[in-house]
Structure 1
Amino acid sequence: MAYTFYFEKLGVWHLAKDIAKYVYKLTEALPDSEKYGLQSQMRRAAVSIASNIAEGTSRKSYRDQAHFTQLAYSSLMELFNQFLLAKELGFLSNASEEEFRRKVEELANKLNSLRNSQLNRVSEPETPYGNPSNPLPTDVGIESSNPQILDSSSVQMVDLASQYQRLKPEIDEAIQRVLESSRYIKGPEVEAFEEELANYLGVNHVIGCANGTDALQIALMALGLKPGDEVIVPSFTYVATAEVIGLLGLTPIMVDVDPGTFNLTAEFVEKAITPKTKAVVPVHLFGQSADMEPILAIAKKHGLFVVEDNAQAIGAEYTFSDGSIKKTGTMGHVGTTSFFPSKNLGCYGDGGAIFTNDEELADRLRMIANHGQKKRYYHDTIGVNSRLDTIQAAILLVKLKYLNDYNAARQKAAAYYDTAFKDINWLQIPVRQPNSTHVFHQYTLKVKNGRRDDLAEHLKSEGIPFGVYYPVPLYKQKAFAPYYKGNELTVTEQLCREVISLPIHTEMNEELLQMITAAVSQF
């Protein structure tokens, strides 16, 4: 049964329009000082109710319809709270609370009834209503979209546009709220996001900053390291991990990685420790944790700081031998992450964050990120200007609610790839760290027949995007020539010749996965 049946039968549209008209007339009585405050907020909430109801009519699945009905209900509750606030402030003294409450309760009851009807029908076949030429996934995971002609132009490494369309009402509302408040720097959304992310990670402190590279730099600056101090990093990682070490006058010591997980190991760390070693930076590469328990033990034994680079694995969990579980980024002295748009939790520009359980360290991190000041115009140390802006924080607040779902969608896509490739003897599917979950920021294969570059050319000819992360070891980059002692690292050299990453994101469906796996298998 089409959504429009419930939509018309319950009369929610007419009630929503009635409330919107009532609110517009009611808020004319607000003083001029509130024209861009409560008046704007109440009118926006009233319009949001109607627009979310209308948006549901374009959705072909009952689950999506229920989602927009819930958004309409949330906007209705927001509107009612704003009405009560306006009454309390004396702006709407002549308005009848009883009349408005009756209108709200009537629509709320109908929205609840509508949503229950939609959820009860989730398992039924999708309705034909909506726009079949532009289907949106109705749930996380792998599913078929409407029958349509797909070609390689449909395949993207990361499909941020479709993800945005799924979240559009919430994202647009969050951005609009910031625009109306004009609090673009240090607005309330920044602190709210830091608190929500801290709760999600199970860590005491989160400090937002401008990007993931800044997060690493600020973390190292806060540890009191001195020029010439050595910091151990994996040789197979993105440049930022080692770049900030050189930038601060420290010495990056690049060591080899595990050939299966591509991550730093305690064995390689211990071999590289010298009297000058002060810190180690494990990178949770491609979506899973490095084996942290032995790394933490080695660091403790030698008095080293541990800075986790968690730019690619936010949401992954590591299980210790005693059964305790911690999120990546929360096990060392300090953790960092990036909110670059393509990350598992990405904003719509640049953004980053730093995590710690150490209150004194958290204070120092905040101070360094804010020009070295605790009190405005009083600078206690050399710092930087690195802030997470309010619009990005507002976007991240919306997306954080869906992070577990996003990671689950990536895991399901990875499982599909695994099944397709597990019997191809010249490919090695990603190896999982046994005591870590994998959230698949990248799905990275090893091409074992020496033909990685040929496979890349084949995929290019088929219009299938791919990535090679990373083609050159860090120690062979020109920027790091001063630190290179001429000794090649066997595993890193091999990985740079063999790895290739396939598209993986939250909006994948079976048709896209079939197209990608067919192109690889036909090579």
Structure 2
Amino acid sequence: MKVDFYTSQREYNEKRVQFDNAIQAVVQKGNFILGEPVVEFEKAIQEYTGAKYAIGVASGTDALILASDILGFKNGKEVITSPFTFLASASCIIRHQGKPVFVDIDEDTFSIDVNKIEERVNENTVGILPIHLFNQMADMDKIMDIANRHDLRVLEDAAEAFGMRWKGNESDYRHSGCIGDFGVYSFFPTKTLGGYGDGGMIVTNNDELARLAKSYRVHGAAKKYHYDFIGYNSRLDTLQAAVLSVKLKYIDEAIKKREEVAKLYIERLSECEEIKIPKIKGDQKHVYYVFNVLAQNRDGLAEHLKKNEIGYSIYYPRPLHMQKAFEYLGYKEGDFPVAEKVSKEIIALPIYPEITKEEVEFVCETIKNFYRK
């Protein structure tokens, strides 16, 4: 049985008429740049997340770059973040000549270890960039407490966290990205809310930050051909907004199906001693964007899955502090032992709303067969 790590075709075939009609409407109208579907989608994101403002941009990476620039994560200033993440979570700081300062991760959640953040704060620190990674949000109570006590800005990398909500010490749940100064989402096709190409979103509850983000995405213009800043050319494509608007209508259903798939994995793999399943920590509503496990002999298991035509991914095979592009920061192997250990054991299994029970059970049985050898 061939099991894809991800496929868009099943969802498209289920909702083909809706997707085709949405795309055709944009083509017929011909307003491809910041057209009405973008405005409508931004409003829908505001309503779904509770954010006061939502500003569509070309990608999640661009969202991080714009937000970092606006928040002053630049010119030698330090921003505390995790080394166990995608490149963009740190490169957005470096692009503005800022300095990412890494702290290790929690082995149970793979999120930044919030108990290690404050020891890295100094007079040159301007911000914290937590990444809500894989299944759950970072501990935003502790992060915001540190930020408030040290007058730091917080940029939530919620690229993988659409639909996740944190309650913590508050009276109600708050959507990822809506707790710090800025939050960002990615609409890369594999994401929980994914388009048919690149796309991203910046959210904030701050009037001035929203004004700046709207300006920065169109070259820094307050109005056409009137430039207050040197900004960027980064706008959410109207066609992508149309596709995403269709998908947003079904997002809660998609999240529920992901939960069902994850529960099946947990049930089937719970007695496999060689597999460790991450824990959910904190009072929050998690979303299974991916299903990661820690596996003994990870590379051997990966090869076994490949031979059996089962898709997988490794997020991430090498922490950022060990990447050649970050050598100049002066970190060395052993500086972040948890991140380094996890990078050698982690593997992501197929999970998406349209995957079948039979496919999941085949994946689990294939994994167990590998360890029975």
TM, length-normalised to structure 1: 0.70
2:338 equivalent to 1:463 = no
Q: Deviation at 1:222?
A: 1.1
* Structure 1 residue matching 2:15: 3-state secondary structure: helix
1:416-455 matched pairs, under 5 angstroms = 416-447=264-295, 449=296, 451-455=297-301
Does structure 2 retain, via aligned residues, the 8 Å contact 1:468–1:499?
A: yes
Quote the residue 1:402 is aligned against: 250
What letter corresponds to residue 309 of structure 1 in structure 2?
D
2:165 to 301, 313, 317: 317
Does structure 2 retain, via aligned residues, the 8 Å contact 1:347–1:392?
A: yes
2:326 equivalent to 1:515 = no
2:328 equivalent to 1:482 = yes
What percentage of aligned pairs have identical amino acids? 38
What letter corresponds to residue 463 of structure 1 in structure 2?
E
Q: Deviation at 1:436?
A: 1.9
* Structure 1 residue matching 2:312: 3-state secondary structure: coil
What letter corresponds to residue 337 of structure 2 in structure 1?
T
What letter corresponds to residue 485 of structure 1 in structure 2?
Y
CA distance in structure 1 between the partners assigned to 2:336 and 2:131 by the alignment: 17
CA distance in structure 2 between the partners assigned to 1:196 and 1:493 by the alignment: 39
1:22-101 matched pairs, under 5 angstroms = none
Quote the residue 1:273 is aligned against: 121
2:95 equivalent to 1:247 = yes
1:326 to 156, 162, 174: 174
Quote the residue 1:256 is aligned against: 104
What letter corresponds to residue 321 of structure 1 in structure 2?
N
Q: Deviation at 1:226?
A: 3.8
Does structure 2 retain, via aligned residues, the 8 Å contact 1:265–1:295?
A: no
2:36 equivalent to 1:188 = yes
CA distance in structure 2 between the partners assigned to 1:226 and 1:347 by the alignment: 31
Q: CA RMSD in A?
A: 1.0
Per-residue Cα deviation, 1:350-404 (whole angstroms, up to 9, x for no partner): 1000000001110011111110011111100110000001111111111111111
What is the number of equivalent residue pairs in this alignment?
Answer: 369
1:293 to 141, 163, 167: 141
CA distance in structure 2 between the partners assigned to 1:465 and 1:225 by the alignment: 37
Q: Deviation at 1:484?
A: 2.6
Give the structure with the larger helix fraction.
1
Which range is displaced more, 388-397 or 223-232?
Answer: 223-232
Does structure 1 retain, via aligned residues, the 8 Å contact 2:74–2:94?
A: no
Q: Deviation at 1:221?
A: 1.1
CA distance in structure 2 between the partners assigned to 1:233 and 1:224 by the alignment: 15
* Structure 2 residue matching 1:321: 3-state secondary structure: coil
What letter corresponds to residue 497 of structure 1 in structure 2?
K
CA distance in structure 2 between the partners assigned to 1:433 and 1:298 by the alignment: 19
1:426–1:210: structure 2 CA closer, same or farther, 3 Å change rule? Answer: same
CA distance in structure 2 between the partners assigned to 1:258 and 1:291 by the alignment: 11
CA distance in structure 2 between the partners assigned to 1:323 and 1:258 by the alignment: 26
TM, length-normalised to structure 2: 0.97
Which range is displaced more, 265-274 or 510-519?
Answer: 265-274
1:284 to 120, 132, 136: 132
Quote the residue 2:193 is aligned against: 345
Which range is displaced more, 476-485 or 352-361?
Answer: 476-485
Does structure 2 retain, via aligned residues, the 8 Å contact 1:233–1:253?
A: yes
Q: Deviation at 1:238?
A: 0.6
Per-residue Cα deviation, 1:261-301 (whole angstroms, up to 9, x for no partner): 10013212112112111011100000311111011100111
Which range is displaced more, 428-437 or 474-483?
Answer: 428-437
1:5-16 matched pairs, under 5 angstroms = none
Does structure 1 retain, via aligned residues, the 8 Å contact 2:134–2:291?
A: yes
Runs (4+) of structure 1 moved beyond 6 Å? Answer: none
Does structure 1 retain, via aligned residues, the 8 Å contact 2:187–2:193?
A: yes
Q: Deviation at 1:191?
A: 0.4
Q: Deviation at 1:320?
A: 2.1
Does structure 1 retain, via aligned residues, the 8 Å contact 2:72–2:126?
A: no
Quote the residue 1:496 is aligned against: 343
CA distance in structure 1 between the partners assigned to 2:28 and 2:203 by the alignment: 30
Q: Deviation at 1:510?
A: 1.2
Per-residue Cα deviation, 1:387-432 (whole angstroms, up to 9, x for no partner): 0011111111111111111111111100000001111111111211
Quote the residue 2:183 is aligned against: 335
1:178 to 12, 17, 26: 26
What letter corresponds to residue 291 of structure 2 in structure 1?
Y
Give the number of the structure with larger relative contact order, counting CA–CA contacts within 8 Å between residues 6 or more apart: 2
CA distance in structure 1 between the partners assigned to 2:252 and 2:9 by the alignment: 19
CA distance in structure 2 between the partners assigned to 1:419 and 1:287 by the alignment: 17
**Structure 1: gaps of 5 or more residues:** 1-150
Q: Deviation at 1:254?
A: 1.3
Per-residue Cα deviation, 1:42-89 (whole angstroms, up to 9, x for no partner): xxxxxxxxxxxxxxxxxxxxxxxxxxxxxxxxxxxxxxxxxxxxxxxx
Q: Deviation at 1:433?
A: 1.9
Per-residue Cα deviation, 1:72-117 (whole angstroms, up to 9, x for no partner): xxxxxxxxxxxxxxxxxxxxxxxxxxxxxxxxxxxxxxxxxxxxxx
Q: Deviation at 1:463?
A: 1.3
